[in-house]
């Protein structure tokens, strides 16, 4: 049970050198109960993210509605570059592995997703990225057989960023066939974005998002509009003096909160061990870990 304590999954790890006694930061993420259209102080943890002193995320713990551990994600780095994400169930059964590869400039060029198949991890999909003059220009998604199932192109002007994605039908007519996004830029910030979704059943859905920033170029409001230009949803953010997110409120068109989240960070000094990535060439092994509670 969470009980407002900081739960940190202490795992045996490889590829991150042991920090010795060093500081970590645990960010607790809470969802609050809504009563009579207002958020209350009653809350439960839905996630906890743990970062090192360089702001690299080390561990993400997800909680169920009873505040029990639902799953956790372990992150692995080569210096500052993320090279693997591994998700496990609360019973330590591996759920997925994502591997990342980069070019000599440190730009992401490949992402591969694996799922367990018997006692091995099996490739499910791969995404390949291409660039021109340091700008991302394309993504190609291939399935486990190497067949292209998705293609995304990016184009840029001084005032616009356009993204166009096309997908092969996988499950049925409810699948998205095309997804396009045109973002309007001002001083390098996205001011608005029009998103168009085309489905295989020939239906089309349009959403426009408008962004408002504070004096520190942080998003404080997102307004969502439907194809009739009617406001359907609003998301508001607030920040602490140190720049960390403090609250996130999802509201309906009448400014009534639907969901309300708060975020709290606390620093600890602990001894970190080494942790090991899953070897994709070998049979799966059960991970062992202990769960200390940090008061």
| pLDDT given for residue 285 in this prediction | 78
Query: Who has greater pLDDT, 189 or 281?
Result: 189
Residue 204 within a domain: yes
The answer for residues whose C-beta is within 8 angstroms of residue 253's C-beta and 6 or more apart is 230, 231, 232, 233, 234
Are 24 and 51 within 8 A, CB to CB? yes
Residue 291 within a domain: no
Q: Residues for the chain: how many in total?
A: 295
Give the mean pLDDT of 123-129: 98
- Give residue 100's domain range: 6-281
Number of domains in the chain: 1
Residue 289 within a domain: no
- pLDDT-based confidence at residue 52 (cuts at 50, 70, 90): confident
d(CA 230, CA 225): 5
pTM: 0.86
- pLDDT-based confidence at residue 17 (cuts at 50, 70, 90): very low
Residue 21: pLDDT over 60: no
Q: Is 170 exposed, middle or buried (0-12, 13-18, 19+ CB in 10 A)?
A: exposed
Of 96, 80, 78, which Cα lies nearest the Cα of 88?
96
- pLDDT-based confidence at residue 15 (cuts at 50, 70, 90): very low
CA atoms within 13 Å, Cβ hemisphere of 182 = 5
Residue 275 within a domain: yes
Give the mean pLDDT of 179-193: 96
| pLDDT given for residue 286 in this prediction | 72
Query: Who has greater pLDDT, 22 or 57?
Result: 57
Residue 20: pLDDT over 80: no
Residue 287 within a domain: no
- pLDDT-based confidence at residue 293 (cuts at 50, 70, 90): very low
- pLDDT-based confidence at residue 230 (cuts at 50, 70, 90): very high
Residue 293 within a domain: no
Residue 253 within a domain: yes
| pLDDT given for residue 274 in this prediction | 63
**CATH number of residue 45's parent domain:** 2.40.128.720
d(CA 10, CA 40): 32
Q: Which helix (H) or strand (E) holds 119?
A: none
The model's pLDDT over 70-121, given as tens digits with 9 standing for 90+, comes to 999 999 999 999 999 999 998 889 999 999 999 999 999 999 999 999 999 9
Residue 228 within a domain: yes
């Amino acid at each position: 049970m969470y009980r407002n304590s900081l739960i940190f999954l202490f795992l045996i790890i490889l590829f991150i050198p042991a920090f010795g006694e060093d500081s970590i930061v645990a960010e607790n993420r809470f969802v609050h109960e809504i009563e009579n259209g207002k958020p209350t102080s009653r809350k439960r943890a839905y996630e906890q993210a743990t970062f090192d002193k360089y702001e690299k995320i080390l561990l993400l713990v997800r909680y169920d509605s009873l505040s029990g551990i639902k799953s956790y994600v372990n992150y692995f780095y080569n210096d500052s570059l993320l090279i693997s994400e591994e998700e496990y169930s609360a019973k330590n059964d591996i759920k997925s592995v994502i591997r990342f590869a980069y070019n000599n400039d440190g730009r992401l060029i490949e992402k591969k997703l694996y799922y367990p198949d018997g006692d091995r991890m099996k490739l499910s999909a791969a995404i390949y990225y291409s660039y021109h003059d340091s700008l991302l220009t394309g993504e190609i998604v291939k399935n486990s057989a190497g067949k292209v199932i998705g293609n995304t192109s990016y184009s840029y002007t001084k005032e616009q960023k356009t993204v166009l994605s096309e997908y092969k039908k996988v499950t049925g007519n409810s699948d998205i066939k095309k997804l396009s996004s045109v973002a309007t830029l001002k001083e390098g910030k996205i001011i608005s974005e029009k998103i168009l979704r085309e489905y295989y059943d020939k239906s089309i859905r349009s959403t426009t998002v408008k962004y408002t920033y504070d004096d520190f170029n942080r998003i404080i409001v997102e307004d969502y509009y439907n194809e009739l230009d009617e406001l359907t949803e609003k998301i508001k953010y607030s920040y602490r003096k140190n720049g960390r997110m403090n609250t996130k409120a999802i509201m309906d068109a009448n400014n009534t909160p639907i969901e309300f989240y708060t975020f709290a960070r606390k620093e600890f000094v602990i001894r970190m061990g080494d942790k090991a990535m899953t070897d994709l060439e070998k049979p799966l092994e059960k991970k062992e870990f202990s769960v200390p509670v940090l008061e």
